[in-house]
Amino acid sequence: MSARLFDYARWTGQADRLVREYGAASPYPHLQIDGFLDDAIVRRVAREFPGPTDTEWISYKHYNENKLGKSKREEFPPFIGSVVDELNSPEFVSFLSTVTGISGLKADPMLEGGGMHQTESGGFLNIHADFTMHHYHKRWRRRCNLIVYLNERWEPHWGGDLELWSRDMKGRVTVIAPVLNRAVIFNTDDSSFHGYPDPIRCPADVTRKSLALYYFTEEPDDRYSAKSTNYRARPTDGARALLIWADKQALHLYSKLKERLGFSDDAVSRILRRLSRKR
CA pair distance 209, 120, nearest whole angstrom? 9
Local confidence band at 259 (pLDDT 50, 70, 90 cut-offs): confident
Q: What is the CATH number of the domain that holds 13?
A: 2.60.120.620
Higher pLDDT, 277 or 257: 257
Contact 161, 197 (CB under 8 A): no
Those residues with Cβ within 8 angstroms of residue 14's Cβ, 6 or more apart along the chain or in another chain: none
If one counts the domains in the chain, the total is: 1
Contact 12, 95 (CB under 8 A): yes
CA pair distance 148, 22, nearest whole angstrom? 17
The rounded mean pLDDT for the chain is 93
Q: What is the pLDDT of residues 205-214, one digit of tens each?
A: 999 999 999 9
- For residue 152, give its domain range: 2-278
For the chain, percent of residues with pLDDT exceeding 90: 84
Q: What is the pLDDT of residues 19-74, one digit of tens each?
A: 999 999 999 999 999 999 999 999 999 999 999 999 999 999 999 999 999 999 99
Range name among 107-116, 147-156, 202-211, 214-223 with the lowest pLDDT average: 214-223
160: left (phi over 0), alpha (psi -120 to 50) or beta: left
Higher pLDDT, 183 or 272: 183
Higher pLDDT, 225 or 213: 213
Q: For residue 274, what pLDDT is reported?
A: 57
